[in-house]
A = this chain, B = another copy of it.
Amino acid sequence: MRATGAATPGSPLDPTASVPATVAVGGAAIPEATVARLPVYLRALTALADAGTTTCSSEELAAAAGVNSAKLRKDLSYLGSYGTRGVGYDVEYLRYQIAREIGVTQDWPVVIVGIGNLGHALANYSGFRSRGFRIVALLDAAAGRRGEEVAGLPIRSFDELESVVAEHRVAIGVVATPAAAAQEVCDRLVAAGVTSILNFAPTVLAVPEGVDVRKVDLSIELQILAFHEQRKAQAEGGAARAADAAEVIA
């Protein structure tokens, strides 16, 4: 059902969101779907640059990013005309333009709240740094964790949130607490001045206008896979792999 290279249903355009859908303000309007793909292009371009490629066609870049080349060209056209007809795109130049458009030419300071299993993994993740983000503080409510160092940063009290946000001008917060605490933590983050939140807890967060929330939900992803898996099993006549987990209806 899914084709090679263009293989994924996966992340950004959230059907759970009831929202505008294009992003206008200073520059031109950029469709939300395009915004969600820009980071993918950026990554593909970085990989090409690392491989020593200096120029690439929309076809090549599209293949590397796993999208249709027409879609890629249309996406890029929202940013401007950075290619050369008959030639293609200059990898380094385009990479910079996309990075600038996304806003990751400088680092964004980020706080992580909830340094448990997941918080530790996030704190240790080096991919942040190279992609435009800098973790400036790790906060946790549990007194037991206080003082422990993770990836060179001490775990601090959640009560230090306000001063940390003010000091580093933090705009982005990550919530990695249990679901029960997520809304409360979110409220505190917003009150402290954070206007973008990445939520790992399995809850719907309510936030005031002007605050963006994105969620990463592992169980949802797996359940979507399970749904398709079940359909595949049914398509095979029901005698398939997950027959024990799937009852045939039709």
Interface residues of A (CB under 8 A from B): 1-20, 23, 25-27, 32-40, 42-44, 64-68, 71, 100-108, 110, 117-118, 120-122, 124-125, 127-128, 131-133, 169, 171-172, 193, 195-199, 202, 204-232, 234-235, 241-242, 244-250
Contacts and interface: CB of A to CB of B under 8 A. Distances in A.
- Please tell me how many copies of the chain the complex holds: 2
Q: Which 6 A-B pairs have the closest CB atoms?
A: A103-B230, A10-B14, A66-B204, A26-B234, A106-B245, A26-B250
A131 B219 CA distance: 7
Contacts of A9: 12-14, 17, 19, 32, 36, 212, 214
Contacts of A33: 15
B42 A223 contact: yes
A14 B61 CA distance: 18
Contacts of A247: 100, 105
9 contacts: A2-B19, A6-B19, A12-B224, A39-B220, A42-B223, A102-B227, A117-B120, A128-B219, A214-B221
A65 B204 contact: yes
Contacts of A227: 23, 35, 38, 101-103
B2 A8 contact: no
A213 B12 contact: no
A210 B197 CA distance: 35
Contact of A225 (B5, B131, B172): B172
Nearest to A226: B103
A16 B8 contact: yes
A57 to B, nearest CB: 17
